Amino acid sequence: METLEFQSEARQLLQLMIHSIYSNKDTFLRELVSNASDALDKLRLESFRDKDMDVDVDDLHIVIESDPAARTLTVRDNGIGMTREDVVRLIGTIAKSGTAEFLKQLKEQQQSSSDLIGQFGIGFYSSFMVADKVTLVTRHPHAGGVRWESTGESTYTIEDVEDAPQGTSVTLHLKPSDDEDKLPDYTEPAKIREIVKRYSDFITWPVRLGGEDINSRKALWARPASEVSEEEYAEFYRHISHDWNAPLETIRMQAEGAFEYQALLFLPAQAPLDLFMRDSRRGVQLYVKRVFIMDDCAELMPEYLRFVKGVVDAADLSLNVSREILQQDRQIQLMRRRLVKKVLSSIKSLQSSRPDDYAKLWGEVGAALKEGLLSDVDNRTAILDICSFASTHSETELTTLASYISRMKEGQEHIYYMTGDSRTAVEHSPHMEALRAKGYEVLILTDPIDEMWVDAVPSYEEKLFQSVAKGQVDLETEEEKSAAAEKASEFADLLTWMGSALAEDVKEVRLSTRLTTSPACVVGDDHDITPTLEKMYKAMGQ
Ligand code: ADP
Ligand code: MG
């Protein structure tokens, strides 16, 4: 037997669970059933891929057993199991991207930590909310049995065991009943039944208690929409997204005919923590006729919609379908196009029917959505329709492009914008003066991605985007123009002299009508990169 230490992030999360701040402790069972279900999915998939694998997949199931006298509760599956290395890696460490960030945020805002748990999803460790010791016995089809045990303090023990059954069993040694937490009696069958019904009813594998199946096992996306409650959708969303919050919006789609499929997609109320990390995952799972095929299916959802979670169940694919096949499949490409359009149109209808929810969603994932302005040219207009931007029109409210246009002044031809590091920096820029004097509204773009899309997207509703920091912002009437030309000839000598004196640093010196209070400002050429973009490129080492 070996005694090993938890990785330090894992230790911190365990402490969090032991001194649990999360009020709804029943959810530990949902996490264990969810893991068991994933393990059964994986074993079935393996058995399709590897015909020689010597395991029995005829009766895949989950069993819950309780022993009131010993105060133990066991969740057992005959799924894929884990090797010794798997156990050390998967249970002893937290490899999830975003962990460090999550822990940092936790330290910073102690009071709302249960919301943060929602974003992170603690999974297996949630057992320690209700147990003071957890024993896990597991066996992978190609390996010997392993027994893991821990009290959730800094270490765990691990040892090889003879004749462990195929799959995994997790036994919780429940905290004493007089514990100050006043936990319900989780050994009580009625309690177990209630929790499974509430949180795990849709699990496709049988969940058994005392020889009886206690879940209805109906795939939500295959049931008529009118028969599925919001709570059921929310639980299913939690199962697939590992998010502990309810989704902001549920989207259902169905196609019949030559290529039949059903989709159940969700928009999150909070951005996943890894949304802007390099290895962030996409959230759509592929099923074929109710059988789980793969997670994180990039062929079904573009990267800029990586915050969308859900399931697509296609009737006419082979169970052996691989990523390579998916990439080349015309039907899959068509389906992806329809899914994207549906997601974008759902966000658009949120915008009009539930503006507060739309604003919340935009605040969480807007910066990711804007990446689509560059990568998804076909849907550019649909994306622009659902974008919101800060603007000089309001200190606090964002504006859509349509409302910007509706406020455009007589004679204004362009949608003016300025990019920069912050609202204050933009507002104090000398470039803004002339626009302010004219009463023209300017969009204030401060996300790094804004620098990129403004270069790629020429117009919206036939109105050209115009940076106030670039080239000649054409604000003058004919009269003003001839007055300006006169002035320029008056100052010609001065301008020539300044031009040569500053030749090292600027291309040209010209008289400006855009300034009202500042004496001078530096502008970029139409095709120059902006200062912020220049900084970004430098930061990326270019
Ligand atoms: P998540 O489910 O979000 O990955 P968990 O903490 O719930 O996180 O589980 C961590 C990992 O441990 C799982 O991804 C899985 O690889 C492994 N695991 C947990 N429970 C089981 C199980 N019953 N059978 C096989 N593997 C399991
Ligand atoms: Mg889990």
- 331 annotated to bind ligand: no
Residue identifier of the C-alpha nearest atom 14 of ligand 1 = 90
Per-residue pLDDT in tens (0 to 9) along the chain, 542 residues: 999 999 998 998 898 888 876 677 898 999 999 999 999 999 998 998 888 888 889 999 999 999 999 999 999 999 999 999 999 999 988 877 778 877 887 777 665 556 666 667 678 999 999 999 999 999 999 999 999 999 999 999 999 999 899 999 999 999 987 766 678 999 999 999 999 998 898 899 999 999 999 998 989 998 998 999 999 999 999 989 888 889 999 999 999 888 899 999 999 999 988 888 877 778 899 998 888 888 888 999 999 999 999 999 998 888 778 888 888 889 999 999 999 999 999 999 999 999 999 999 999 999 999 999 999 999 999 999 999 999 999 999 999 999 999 999 988 999 999 999 999 999 999 999 888 988 999 999 999 999 999 999 999 999 999 999 886 566 655 666 677 777 777 777 877 887 788 877 777 777 776 666 667 777 766 666 666 666 656 655 55
Long-range interactions of 364-369: CB distance < 8 A, separation 24+: 364/268, 364/269, 364/270, 364/271, 364/307, 365/268, 365/271, 365/275, 365/307, 366/447, 367/276, 367/447, 367/449, 368/271, 368/275, 368/276, 368/304, 368/305, 368/306, 368/307, 369/304, 369/305
Give how far Cα 111 sits from Cα of 65, 108, 117, 425, Å. 36, 9, 12, 33
- Secondary-structure breakdown of the chain: helix, strand, coil percentages, each rounded to the nearest 5: 40, 20, 40
Continuous segment of H or E residues that includes residue 29? helix 27-49
Measured in Å, residue 37 CA sits from the centre of ligand 1 at 10
Rounded Cα gap, residues 353 and 334, in angstroms: 28
Rounded Cα gap, residues 297 and 333, in angstroms: 12
pTM of the model: 0.78
Q: Give residue ranges with CB within 6 A of ligand 1.
A: 31, 35-36, 39, 77, 79-82, 90-91, 121, 123-124, 168, 242
pLDDT score for 21: 64
Residues around ligand 2, an ion, CB closer than 5 A? 35, 123
Q: Is the ipTM of this complex over 0.85?
A: yes
pLDDT score for 94: 83
